[in-house]
Amino acid sequence: MNLKAKIEAKDLNFYYGDKQALKKINLIAPKNKVTALIGPSGCGKSTFIRTLNRMNDVILGTRVEGEVFLDGENIYSPKVDVVELRKRVGMVFQKPNPFPKSIFDNIAYGLRINGMKRKKNIEEIVEKSLKEAALWDEVKDRLGENAFALSGGQQQRLCIARSLAVEPDVILFDEPCSAIDPIATAKIEDLIQILKKNYTVLIVTHNMQQAARVSDFTAFLMLGELIEYGETGKIFTNPENKLTEDYITGRFG
């Protein structure tokens, strides 16, 4: 691959207690590309994506082995500040999780906890983020309303805008469309295409068509192992591994 690696996992093992959830994963997510992770339930794709912003750290009894490089720096090195890492690697969760605050305050949350005080700066970034998440036109007249008043799809775009506001380099999507309807899903897929110009995107999805539509590279995981990884076009038309073929043709999963 002639691309610049943004994220690189090297021999990554992950354990929940005694149970090994990831087995020697080696994977490169290139800069400004969309990398999709597919595989049957419980294959470790969500676990994998959560190792990239060390979100698994908060789950008790878990353990990581191996390395994950972000711009060549191992994020599991003791020198790394997890808080700084999570600012650089944003995350959008499976279920839209707006905070019970106004639309404005949801976006401003990340700015405020990171110490931004000037109202004018905050307002500028809130507007910029909402525009980037293609939500501005729908909410610009009601920024003071509670975020729960938005539809599910809007809530998810709000959460995307919220993570964009802290200016990450990488955005992780953990099945972002599994709780929203097809039209809202289409909007988020379009959005991901635009986002990759400025960000590196990784997306976990259950939906193979979605992976085919949005991603440049696809990784197929099964039972914690990376079975096959390559350009999306190749994985979906000419997979090398029999298991991959069986999965994408719908023989199991």
Q: Name the site residues for another protein (rule: CB under 8 A).
A: 53, 55, 58, 60, 83-84, 86-87, 90-91, 93, 95, 97, 99-102, 109-110, 112-114, 146, 159, 162-163, 166
Our CB check for another protein shows the closer of 91 and 212 to be 91
Please identify, using beta-carbon distances, which residue of 39 and 168 lies nearer to another protein. 168
User: Residue 86: which of 56, 65, 61 has the closest Cα?
Assistant: 56
Whole-angstrom Cα distance, residue 245 to residue 42?
19
CB contact at 8 A, 161 and 171: no
In angstroms, what CA-CA distances link 23 with 13, 27, 141, 179? 5, 12, 49, 29
Task: Supply the minimum distance, in Å, between the C-beta of residue 136 and another protein.
Answer: 20
Distance, in Å, from the CA atom of 247 to the CA atom of 221, rounded to the nearest integer, reads 10
CB of 238 to another protein, least distance (A): 36
Contact between 6 and 30 (Cβ < 8 Å): yes
Nearest distance, CB of residue 43 and another protein, angstroms = 21
Minimum CB distance to another protein, residue 27 (Å): 21
CB nearer to another protein: give 63 or 242: 63
Which residue is associated with the tokens 């910029």? 128
d(CA 192, CA 239): 25
Per DSSP, what are the bridge partners of residue 13?
A: 65
Least distance (Å) between residue 175 CB and another protein: 14
Residue at token pair 């192992």: 225
Q: What is the DSSP letter of 146?
A: B
Which helix or strand (DSSP H or E) is residue 227 part of? strand 225-231
Q: Find all residues with CB under 8 Å of 76, minimum gap 6, and list them.
A: 54, 64, 66, 67, 68
Q: Which is nearer to another protein, 77 or 114 (CB)?
A: 114
Of the two residues 114 and 209, which places its CB atom closer to another protein in the complex? 114
If the CB atoms of residues 200 and 218 are measured against another protein, the closer one turns out to be: 200
Min CB(58)–another protein separation in Å: 7
Q: Which residue, 87 or 196, has its beta carbon nearer to another protein?
A: 87
Q: How far is the CB of 68 from another protein (least distance, A)?
A: 16
